[in-house]
Amino acid sequence: MPPRVGLNLVTDDAFREAARPLFAEGLVTALEWDIDFEWGFAARELPDWAGRMLDLYGEQEALYGHGVWLSVLTAAWQPRQEAWLEHLARECHRRPYRHISEHFGFTAAGPFTRSAMLPLPYCGAAVDIGRDRLERLRAATGGPVGLEVLANTLSPADAADQGAFLDAVLEPGDGFLVLDVHNVWTQALNTGLPPEVLLESYPLERVRELHVSGGSWGRALRAGDFRPVRLDSHDGPLLPPVLALLRRALSLCSRCEVVIVERRGETFESEETRAEWQAHYRAVVELVTEASAAPVNPVRGVIAAPPPALLDMHELAQYQRELITALVEESDDRAILSRLRQGIAGTRLAPYLETFDRRMLELLAVLASQWAAFDPAQDTEYSRVSRPGRSRVLSGT
């Protein structure tokens, strides 16, 4: 059967009105749901109509769950994460999800229970953490679990090594990959790597779900590098090169069963925007239909050497605390790098640290500051973190 094509369900009225014609035409054959909507950091009450939609697609075995706030690669396990898994187990008992996925990377460390989604260097300790968290997810859900490709990078190595990193984490069991083609395209643009080469560096035989979305552009104002930065912000049109990359992914991913189109509801600011998005969704449906009629050419992907022993578990936790703290407290890329050089990264990760993209440091400092949540009880070593005010360091282009 060809892959289903569906939407990431958003509950605001703007999304509901924009998506209504697509549902009426029978083009939405799957739904993905941010499964921690009612109990994550941005917990909200589920509207009755949305609950009915979730139940309907669950009955049709076409409902997919996607987590946002677990923070899979956090080295020092937090009580908040244990509570998250308990909620997840209840939700999976409440509705039948075909599978559950979470984001690769980490948002929490030390006293921070939330920040930006951040990458980790590929190393043995990080692989061990990922495997442990995947087992915890599997135990909570009782079904298939997977991880989604991360868009954010600090170094070109974060993009170049991510396929091998994910493959090593997913390898012991039946874990699957959510391949977000816009995330891959974003990585490629921001690191200068060829998009198709980067796509084929992932373990494509593990892909069970594809994502496609739009985004936006930003520009760092302090780093002395005015090249635009691509943002995976789910607020723009589906661009032709992203759709071309989706076509390529469909031709290589023999196990893909669903393609999800993502868009933030509050970004439908006009009738023209809604019509454009609807046309792009129909284009994805047509593309998937065409691709399903052609033979799939499965590709294993280019898998790198086993992970190096850069850091042990304690050192990895220390690096995560220091990185988030520097991003939240500082807004200048030079100050962030200076602080990191004085910590564990300066002694154990110096070659990796020296490849950091200063534009991305500014971007992630903005996002970390905006999203940061702090609980001193989580880590007494970092019991007080100041939060100086800062101006936004990215501008739209």
Same domain, yes or no, for 171 and 65?
A: yes
Eight-state DSSP code of residue 47: P
Q: How far is CA 251 from the centre of its chain?
A: 23
Position 95 in a domain: yes
Distance in angstroms (rounded) separating the CA atoms of residues 164 and 150: 13
Position 303 in a domain: no
φ/ψ (deg, to 5) at 259: -120, 125
Same domain, yes or no, for 10 and 152?
A: yes
Same domain, yes or no, for 25 and 149?
A: yes
Same domain, yes or no, for 23 and 121?
A: yes
- Tokens 């076509």 belong to 247
Same domain, yes or no, for 56 and 12?
A: yes
pLDDT given at position 307: 80
Same domain, yes or no, for 58 and 196?
A: yes
Number of domains forming the structure of the chain: 2
Q: Which two tokens stand for residue 263?
A: 């868009």
Distance in angstroms (rounded) separating the CA atoms of residues 349 and 310: 7
pLDDT given at position 376: 82
Cβ(357)–Cβ(153) below 8 Å: yes
Residue (of 354, 371, 251) closest to 299 by Cα position: 251
Cβ(124)–Cβ(307) below 8 Å: yes
Position 250 in a domain: yes
Cβ(99)–Cβ(64) below 8 Å: yes
Position 180 in a domain: yes
Position 308 in a domain: no
Residues 6+ apart with CB under 8 A from 142: 92
Radius of gyration of the chain (CA): 20
pLDDT given at position 28: 98
Same domain, yes or no, for 278 and 324?
A: no
Q: In terms of residue numbers, what domain contains 113? A: 4-292
Distance in angstroms (rounded) separating the CA atoms of residues 315 and 52: 47
Same domain, yes or no, for 259 and 356?
A: no
Q: Outline where DSSP puts E strands in the chain.
A: 4-8, 30-34, 63-66, 100-103, 112-114, 145-148, 176-180, 207-213, 216-220, 228-231, 258-262, 373-374, 394-396
pLDDT given at position 299: 65
CA distances from 136 to 126, 140, 142, 187 (A): 15, 6, 10, 28
pLDDT in tens, 63-93: 999 999 999 999 999 999 999 999 999 999 9
Same domain, yes or no, for 345 and 388?
A: yes
- Identify the domain boundary among 292, 323, 345: 292
Position 346 in a domain: yes
Position 299 in a domain: no
Same domain, yes or no, for 385 and 240?
A: no
Distance in angstroms (rounded) separating the CA atoms of residues 66 and 68: 7
Same domain, yes or no, for 150 and 273?
A: yes
Query: Which CATH number do you get for residue 167?
Result: 3.20.20.150
Q: What residue ranges of the chain have pLDDT lower than 70? A: 298-305, 380-397
Position 215 in a domain: yes
Indicate the helix (H) or strand (E) that contains 130: helix 124-141
Burial class (CB in 10 A: 0-12, 13-18, 19+), 255: middle
pLDDT given at position 334: 94
Same domain, yes or no, for 360 and 252?
A: no
